Amino acid sequence: MQGRAWVRGNLSARLGLVVLVLAVSWIGFRAFGAGFGPNGNVPEFVIVTLNGLTLAGLYFVVASGFTLIFGLMRVVNMAHGSFYLLGGYIAFKLLQHSLTGYWLALIVAALAVGAGGLVMQQVFLRWNQGQELRQALVTIALSIIIADQMLANFGGSALTISPPAGLGGSLELGVYGIQYPTFRFAVLAGALVIGFVLWIWIMRTRFGMTVRAGVDDRAMTSALGLNIQVIFAITFFVGAALAGLGGVIGGTMIALAPGQDASFLLSSLVVVIIGGLGSLRGAVVGSLALGLVDQMSAVYLPANYTNYSILLTFVLLVFVLATRPTGLFGRRVAAGQAQESPRPLGPLPARLRASIGNRPLFAWIMVRRIGVGALLVFVVAVPLLFSAFFTSTIGVQFLVLGIAAASLIFLNTIAGMVSLAQTALYGVAAYMTAQLAVQEGVDPWVAAVAALAVTVLVGLLLGAIVSRSEGIYFLMITLAFAVITYYFFSQVTAFGSHEGINNVQPPKLIGLPFVDPTGLYYAALICSAFVYLSIRYIQRTPFGIALQGIRDEPTRMRTLGFNVPLLRAFGFALGAFFAAIAGVLSVWYNSNISPGAIDLTRTIDLLSIAVIGGIWRLEGAWIGAVLFTLLDTYSPAYTARFETVIGIVFLAVVLASPGGLAGIVSTVDGWVRRRLGEASELAPRTGELVAP
């Protein structure tokens, strides 16, 4: 009764139920409106429903491994999609060279991927347990490396695995003369078997009891003498093996190709967001919901709107998150190891006064300030000192990427939200600028302002949806939004589909960047200064202080009367504004925008920039951007595997210096000042968000 009263009083839930009823009614009308005869639409409905159920079976096989790992270990394995694709490729090669039959290839691929997952867990994840964000970043770095190496070794063409003997034909259903692929029925049956075995394993065995005990109280489980590390290792092995198994099945049902790793990572994220992290029955419900929505929206939407079917996935997420922020069967989990909150450095005049009696310390501080000033002068003089190629390729790009990364760092440091949606928001601004300027003939300045406004509104909407989610769950939801945005722009013909929008001209005041990039360089430099100073100012305003309070003590801030979801939503919209500035500058620089500019690779690249530069320091945005741009421009002369290089650098920084390059500089500076005798109360701590 209490649950029903809550639903009745919740506007979002009521609206969602209305939409659900309307959707079911529409499908019923389209399917049965012409009657139940063989000439009606019922045969199509049967086939579409079977497609949705069998696709749901595949989604469940993959997502069950994802949720199994998180359910026990609280590790969001962002390399899960790469494991899926790797398993398919291994089986394909075994079959291509006639080394094994289908079933043995399936087993070998699953075991090989499981072994690879076990190595990853033991080498990279075991020693930083409890640090959820750091572990997620490690798996992201490894996914970059794995994906690039798969592209290098297996090529970019789509590959298909032939079904095994006996499952390659079709079965007669006995109704309406429908025949349906036998292999898809086998997939559905296999998913049911896997789900049943997992349920028995977790709920009815001693090992499962230990797993559930470890979920509830890891420390007590260890204290009772149970080897929790062995349980972790077995769980990660099984979860990764399920991803590899799904890759073989998916390669037989659909295809294997670059991008399928992102697609199935998205499906796993959506399934566990709907069902709830760590819930096996949630994975079942989430898989069914996603599979049926995916297939039915592609068929039953009105003819002019079928390209918008990807939006229904987003609508499904919105409905679930509005009613159950932790998913249908999920529960709120305790946060992992807390990150050290940044605290501001003592005022510069006070530090200088304290150092006057210490000449070496005073000299070091002054040299540091002079060095920063000289660096700023150098940045201003880049168009005067270097060629147009360097100014354009290095200068403009690093400033634009720095602004985009600064929007991510702003949300992380001030609001405590690690957002992977910044590239998508950047893309929304770029697409709106291009659409208005090219398709509608609007003045470039007006198009830019309108694009900023639209992006802020999108950011506010998304912020309202995710404002009740925290930590790693927030990261997953924003990643799902980023991938959905990519698919939306790649499918909708109004935005050019895969070709995008070309011939975007910047304002005449800026000039054509491919002729003379000076104007755009200084525009990007002014915008960078604006973003930097704005974030510094916001940090000290009541709004910024409230966001920092929510970051550190959300429960206490809520008790004090602050509207935590509203403040987080407005903070997210502000981050969207900064990302939109980068998007407008980017489309002016490239003269075009296409889905490839905002795909999962670009999303991870932006995160790499922030992490390498220093995700806890605002200056790290531009430090990481300049290193990324230099590697992107000059590394092809030495290697064709740029993404592997970035992945290795990313991984090294996450493992060796979570504060990034800016954190290393800050640590060295603090060490020097302490050696020179600076008072401890004036010395900064590693990880501070401070000005140089």
Quote the CA–CA distance of 644 and 629 in Å, as a whole number: 15
pLDDT digits (tens, 9 = 90+) for 394-449: 999 999 999 999 999 999 999 889 899 999 999 999 999 999 999 888 999 999 99
Q: Evaluate whether 538 touches 544 at the Cβ level (below 8 Å).
A: yes
Instruction: Give me Rg for the CA atoms of the chain.
Output: 26
Which CA distances in Å does 322 have to 137, 486, 563? 27, 23, 16
Q: What residues have CB less than 8 Å from 631, skipping those under 6 apart?
A: 642, 645, 646, 649
Residue 65 amino acid letter: G
Q: Evaluate whether 142 touches 125 at the Cβ level (below 8 Å).
A: no
Kindly write down the DSSP assignment for every residue of 573-610, as one continuous string: HHHHHHHHHHHHHHHHHHS-B-GGGGSHHHHHHHHHHH
For position 397, what pLDDT does the model report?
Answer: 94
Quote the CA–CA distance of 168 and 155 in Å, as a whole number: 26
Q: What is the pTM of this model?
A: 0.83
Q: Report DSSP state, residue 336.
A: -
C-alpha distance across the termini of the chain, in Å: 58
Q: Report DSSP state, residue 337.
A: S
Q: What residues have CB less than 8 Å from 244, skipping those under 6 apart?
A: 83, 84, 86, 87, 88, 90, 109, 110, 111, 112, 113, 114
Quote the CA–CA distance of 273 and 313 in Å, as a whole number: 12
CA angle 306, 311, 317 (to 5 degrees): 145
For position 15, what pLDDT does the model report?
Answer: 66
Q: What are 23-26's contacts with CB under 8 Å, separation 24+?
A: 26/300
In 3D space, the residue among 425, 408, 417 whose CA is nearest the CA of residue 466 turns out to be: 417
For position 132, what pLDDT does the model report?
Answer: 78
Q: What residues have CB less than 8 Å from 138, skipping those under 6 apart?
A: 124, 125, 128, 651, 654, 655
For position 681, what pLDDT does the model report?
Answer: 41
Residue 686 amino acid letter: T
Q: Evaluate whether 406 touches 532 at the Cβ level (below 8 Å).
A: yes
For position 278, what pLDDT does the model report?
Answer: 73
Q: What are 367-370's contacts with CB under 8 Å, separation 24+?
A: 368/669, 368/692
Q: Evaluate whether 198 touches 212 at the Cβ level (below 8 Å).
A: no
Quote the CA–CA distance of 138 and 115 in Å, as a whole number: 18
For position 460, what pLDDT does the model report?
Answer: 95
Quote the CA–CA distance of 651 and 139 in Å, as a whole number: 9
Chain centroid to Cα 72, Å, comes to 22
Which CA distances in Å does 659 have to 100, 123, 144, 288, 413? 47, 21, 20, 41, 12
Quote the CA–CA distance of 215 and 73 in Å, as a whole number: 8
Residue 685 amino acid letter: R
Quote the CA–CA distance of 673 and 692 in Å, as a whole number: 14
Other CB atoms closer than 10 Å to residue 2's CB: what's the count?
Answer: 6
- Both structure tokens of 246: 């799904």
pLDDT digits (tens, 9 = 90+) for 209-268: 777 676 666 677 777 777 778 888 898 999 999 999 999 999 999 989 998 988 898 888
For position 452, what pLDDT does the model report?
Answer: 96
> Which residues does residue 469 pair with via DSSP β-bridges, in sequence order?
none
Quote the CA–CA distance of 246 and 249 in Å, as a whole number: 5
- Both structure tokens of 450: 């309108």
Q: Which of helix, strand or coil describes residue 507?
A: coil
Which CA distances in Å does 179 have to 43, 46, 171, 364? 10, 11, 5, 80
Q: Evaluate whether 326 touches 277 at the Cβ level (below 8 Å).
A: yes
Which CA distances in Å does 680 have to 88, 225, 346, 361? 56, 43, 11, 13
Quote the CA–CA distance of 311 and 298 in Å, as a whole number: 11
Quote the CA–CA distance of 191 and 234 in Å, as a whole number: 21
- Both structure tokens of 77: 């394995």
What is the mean pLDDT of each successive set of 10 residues along the chain, which is 692 residues long?
A: 43 66 80 72 88 94 90 82 95 92 95 96 84 85 93 90 90 85 94 93 81 69 76 91 96 91 87 82 90 86 69 75 75 49 45 56 79 90 92 94 96 90 95 92 94 96 86 82 88 84 91 89 96 94 93 89 92 96 95 90 90 90 94 87 89 85 83 68 42 37
What does the CA dihedral 429, 430, 436, 437 come to, rounded to 10 degrees? Answer: 140
> Which residues does residue 171 pair with via DSSP β-bridges, in sequence order?
180
